[in-house]
Amino acid sequence: MSQYGIGRWQGAALMATTLLGTGVFILPQMTVAVAGSWALLAWLILTVAVLPLAFTFGLLASRFPHATGPAHFAALAFGELTGRILGLMFLLVVPLGASAALMITFEFIAPLLPQAQQWRLPVELGLLGLLWLLNYRGLQLSARLQFGLTLLIIAVVLLLLLAFGLLQPQNLQQPALPDFNGSALAAACAIAFWSFLGIEAMTHLAHDFRDASKDLLPALIRGCLVVGAIYLACSYLVLVMDSGHPLAMIGVFNQLLGGYGELVLGVLGFCSGIATVNVYTASVARSLASFSEQGITPAFFQQKNPYQMPQRALTAVIAAMAGVLVLTWFSGQQLEDLISWVNGVFVVIYLVSMAAAYKLLPAPYKGLCLLSLALCLILAVAIAEHMLYALLLIAVLGPLLYLQQHKQRLSSPPSVSPPGSGV
């Protein structure tokens, strides 16, 4: 326990900004487009459905805190090899996902920059430098900054709702509830679920909390509830107002508050996207350092700076993200491909984590674990065609890590029984 660590409300802010990410002012519009009024039900269902996952991750991280998060849970439940495979899958996928998030984040400020596309790569690389600086002193500084960002996003959404209630715009559309369409509702739920991918990131940061056993679980639950409420409110505003703007929430802002939506929501969306990448950068840096301590990755990455941040691991993660951005820029790789690969890997991580929870947690939580596992299985079936990258990683990493583990066992000195043990 440390008096300088993250508290439950700062942790909730980290969780909220991680989940809000780049979709806070985009996903509501997408769900309304596919499901109409049923989008509100989709967000309500997802907010309730994600709570078992968050609760289970919170229980695991509170009882078994470790920098490698899900990989540690998998190793405890199913053996060291499974944990190593899951951990390296996380290490290899985050640079892809974080780079994709930075590409999306840039779109929020692109309208504010002259000849924005020419500046895309330099700006994205500059943002990586900012992330390195934010993480250099550990998460205490960035947690405070992200707490303020979360409050600001909530304040803007509440201001929009207040203005809506006071002004009662003339172009208000009464949301008609069409006949129930199960496929449209399912499509909206599928879109909405991606806003909650990222709840596992906080499990890597358990040691950054003042008291993970007391604060981490409440932080996860509060963060998820805040996010669900924000998305529900934004979806309602998009639904009842005909803004006519390509980015509906900017149109809503302009109509209710008299303009400047491109600037205000652009900056907020940009900062929220940076906050998402920031949490994942810290998570994967700590995972890489932890694997170095276990002999899985080179010992070079173990070194920590005076703020207990694994600086070499952090630099390596930032460099990997920069490499992905450069390769994507010159190869013209589609953003959708990066996102689909990332989604498949995280589904595997969630599935194995929930299965580990069923084995590790006490009997009173078995039902919760089964419910969480069922939700993950439904998601895996829904995105089956996007699981190929994850399966390829397993096929490649599995044999290599097995051989590494076998070699380490052969090279380790045999244990010597103490005299008189009778062995």
Mean pLDDT within 395-407: 86
Does residue 423 surpass a pLDDT of 50?
Answer: no
Q: Give the C-alpha distances (Å, rounded to integers) separating 149 from 4, 37, 273, 394.
A: 20, 29, 11, 37
DSSP state of 419: T
Name residue, tokens 């460099």: 319
Q: What pLDDT is stored for residue 222 in this prediction?
A: 83
User: What pLDDT digit, counting tens, does each position of 207-263 carry?
Assistant: 677 666 677 778 888 888 888 888 888 888 888 887 677 778 888 888 888 888 888
**Residues written for the chain:** 423
What local confidence, expressed as pLDDT, does residue 73 receive? 92
Q: Which two tokens stand for residue 75?
A: 């190793």
Q: What are phi and psi of 6, to 5 degrees?
A: -85, 135
How far is it, in rounded angstroms, from Cα 126 to Cα 148? 23
pLDDT band at residue 294 using 50, 70 and 90 as cut-offs:
confident
Nearest to 216 by CA among 197, 200, 230: 200
Name the range with the highest mean pLDDT among 109-113, 233-237, 268-272, 387-391: 233-237
Q: How confident is the model at residue 76 (pLDDT cuts 50, 70, 90)?
A: very high
Query: What span, in angstroms and rounded, lies between the C-alpha atoms of 169 and 310?
Result: 52
Tell me how far apart the alpha carbons of residues 273 and 320 are, in angstroms, rounded to a whole number: 18
Specify the 3-state DSSP secondary structure of 383. Answer: coil
3-class secondary structure, 114: coil
Mean pLDDT of 351-360: 93
Q: Label residue 82 by pLDDT band (50, 70, 90).
A: very high
Q: In the structure encoding, which two tokens stand for residue 29, read together?
A: 């519009």
Q: Is 5 left (phi over 0), alpha (psi -120 to 50) or beta?
A: beta
**CATH number attached to the domain at 8-168+181-334:** 1.20.1740.10
Q: Taking CA 25 as the corner, what is the angle to CA 24 and CA 30, rounded to the nearest 5 degrees?
A: 100
pLDDT confidence of residue 370: 93
pLDDT, mean of residues 62-81:
87
What percent of the chain shows pLDDT beyond 90?
7
Residue 407 in this model has a pLDDT that exceeds 50: yes
Q: What is the C-alpha to C-alpha distance for residues 297 and 288, in angstroms, rounded to an integer?
A: 7
Entry pTM: 0.74
Q: Supply the mean pLDDT for the chain.
A: 79
Residue 70 or residue 296, greater confidence:
70
Could you write out the DSSP letters of every residue in 150-169? HHHHHHHHHHHHHHHHHH--
Of 264, 49, 262, which is closest to residue 156 (Cα–Cα)?
A: 264
Rounded mean pLDDT, 12-21: 72
Q: Which residues on adjacent β-strands are paired with residue 172?
A: 241
- 3-class DSSP state for residue 179? coil
Give the C-alpha separation, 276 to 278, whole Å: 5
Write the CB contacts of 416 (distance below 8 Å, at least 6 apart in sequence): none
Spatial separation of the C-alpha atoms in residues 340 and 334, rounded to whole Å: 10
Cα 4-197-252 angle, rounded to 5 deg: 95
What is the C-alpha to C-alpha distance for residues 262 and 245, in angstroms, rounded to an integer?
11
Return the SS3 of 7. Answer: coil
Residue, of 70 and 187, whose pLDDT is higher: 70
pLDDT over 90 at 16, yes or no: no
Q: Assess whether pLDDT exceeds 50 at residue 416.
A: no
What does the pLDDT look like over 126-173, one tens digit per residue?
888 888 887 776 655 556 666 777 778 888 888 888 888 887 665 566
Q: Give the residue with greater pLDDT, 394 vs 422.
A: 394
